Amino acid sequence: MEEHNRRNALKIGGVLGALGALSAAGSAHARPLWTWSPGGSVAGTGAGVDPRWVWDPEADDLVASLLDRGEVPRVNELLRTWTTNSQPLPDGLPSDLRDFLEQARALPSWADQAKLDQAYDFTERRGLYLGLLYGMASGMMSTVIPKEARAVYHSYGGANMKDRISKTAKLGYDIGTRNAYRPDGEMIVTCVKTRLVHAGVRHLLPQSPHWNRVAPEDVPISQADIMVTWHSLATTVRQNLVEWQVPIPPVDSEAYLHSWQVTAHMLGVDDEYIPASWDEADAQAKQVLDPVLEPTPEGNNLAQILMNIGPDNGAFSEPLIGAFTRYVLGDRIADWLLIPREPVYDPMLRTFWPPFIAARELGVHFPGAPETYWMFDEFLRQAVLLYLSEGERISIEIPQGNRPS
């Protein structure tokens, strides 16, 4: 039962958190110069070019060409059967795509399977918190990352958020599985397919008059944008766990970071932009994430959808989601998202959440009002109900158009 809850909580975390991943970065104009040093990256060195002007040229040229050649429907169909990391590519793929995939599926030389195994161990022990934070912190934060929100809203998937969310959730789920990056896992395939999707979006969104009207950039999803979203996931989750005083031994902390470092690489981010430590990650996030947060009409629309995503009963109700969002992201962001103040839940979370976590960590029975603690526990558990695609095969596919209107 616990395992079931954990898996599902991770899924919903994946759902909303990856939705976060769907969206990225505020007014480019307002963003300060890039001064984060490649010396703090997993590469340890680099040219230090501002990643706002770096995309993914290899994947971008390839997918643009596939779209121009009209080959995307056939490619999507063929790739539907490619699901596990070590599985040979399906026959019949265009040779340029095949060459790209063979090279893109290779893990970086610095990937460390022992750390990835440890990351799973950590995820298993902390699954409920991670799921909740991917959803409530990362997922909701994505809606105030303007470039991400606009890209998500105006791309094809923006018109069908449920489908979109389930696809995005796949990445949030796969990263937490035991064999994520092992031969029988699915995370490599998920990342590489996502890389193709992002390349498709880079080609297609600039053709959308709606996106062009509102976007400050000419081409979406730069490497800086991907790192912004990365921080809204990994860095934000880790910062919240620290704030909640959830004990994270260094070996877990490093392993969790590592699984996200490998993920960034597999999504096409250059190693010189991937932080080598949490200190470096915090410093980079301060520079690229914090200053871009801002409300947009698109983001507020997405936030509304997220708030209403669960069944309208039980503990996982819109008011509690709203209160939790306010609790983890603060008044400024909650007010941007027009989340109403909750006279009961807001003070309840402020008062009882810290002792709830402390008691959970100590494995003791909760002192004080048992109903409140039961509700928190139920809130964690009911996250499971939000994810609707249990058992369904989800296929991440290259888009062929934008949101029609």
Q: Is 168 in the site for ligand HEM (CB under 6 A)?
A: yes
Q: Is 171 in the site for ligand HEM (CB under 6 A)?
A: yes
Select from 12, 16, 22, 255 the one that contacts ligand HEM (CB under 6 A). 22
Q: Is 201 in the site for ligand HEM (CB under 6 A)?
A: yes
Select from 56, 60, 148, 342 the one that contacts ligand HEM (CB under 6 A). 148
Nearer to ligand HEM by Cβ, of 140 and 320: the residue is 140
Stretch that binds ligand HEM, among 22-30, 112-120, 236-244, 359-367 (CB under 6 A): 22-30
Q: Is 195 in the site for ligand HEM (CB under 6 A)?
A: no
Q: How many residues bind ligand HEM (CB under 6 A)?
A: 29
Q: Tell me which residues in 356-395 interact with ligand HEM (CB under 6 A).
A: none
Dihedral sign of CA atoms 384, 149, 155, 168 in order: negative
Nearer to ligand HEM by Cβ, of 187 and 320: the residue is 187
H or E element in which residue 37 lies: none
Q: Is 21 in the site for ligand HEM (CB under 6 A)?
A: yes
Q: Is 24 in the site for ligand HEM (CB under 6 A)?
A: yes
Query: Least distance from C-beta 100 to ligand HEM, angstroms?
Result: 18
Nearer to ligand HEM by Cβ, of 158 and 310: the residue is 158
Distance CA 57, CA 63 (A): 10
Distance CA 380, CA 4 (A): 12
Query: What DSSP designation does 402 have?
Result: B
Residue 337 in contact with residue 297, Cβ under 8 Å? no
Distance CA 366, CA 383 (A): 21
Nearer to ligand HEM by Cβ, of 153 and 376: the residue is 153
- Which residue of the chain is nearest ligand HEM when measured via CB? 24
Percent helix / strand / coil, the chain, rounded to 5: 65, 0, 35
Determine how many CB atoms are found less than 10 A away from the CB of residue 33: 8
Half-sphere exposure of 40 (CA within 13 A, CB side): 13
Stretch that binds ligand HEM, among 67-75, 114-122, 163-171, 288-296 (CB under 6 A): 163-171
Q: Tell me which residues in 261-300 interact with ligand HEM (CB under 6 A).
A: 267
Q: Is 225 in the site for ligand HEM (CB under 6 A)?
A: yes
**Residue 15 tokens, joined:** 């759902």
Stretch that binds ligand HEM, among 49-57, 152-160, 288-296, 322-330 (CB under 6 A): 152-160
Q: Is 180 in the site for ligand HEM (CB under 6 A)?
A: no
Query: Where in 254-398 does DSSP place strands (E)?
Result: none
Q: Phi and psi for 402 in degrees, rounded to 5?
A: -110, 175
Nearer to ligand HEM by Cβ, of 204 and 339: the residue is 204
Query: Least distance from C-beta 208 to ligand HEM, angstroms?
Result: 11
CA distances from 20 to 169, 306, 320 (A): 10, 10, 19
Distance CA 95, CA 155 (A): 28
**Cβ-defined contacts of 236-241 (< 8 Å, 24+):** 236/133, 236/137, 236/138, 236/141, 236/285, 236/289, 237/17, 237/130, 237/133, 237/134, 237/137, 237/138, 238/278, 238/281, 239/282, 240/133, 240/137, 240/328, 241/126, 241/129, 241/133
Q: Is 164 in the site for ligand HEM (CB under 6 A)?
A: yes
Nearer to ligand HEM by Cβ, of 224 and 329: the residue is 224
Distance CA 315, CA 381 (A): 9
Q: Is 152 in the site for ligand HEM (CB under 6 A)?
A: yes
Binding site for ligand HEM (CB under 6 A): 18, 21-24, 147-148, 151-152, 155-157, 164, 167-168, 171, 194, 197-198, 201, 220-221, 225-226, 229-230, 267, 396, 399
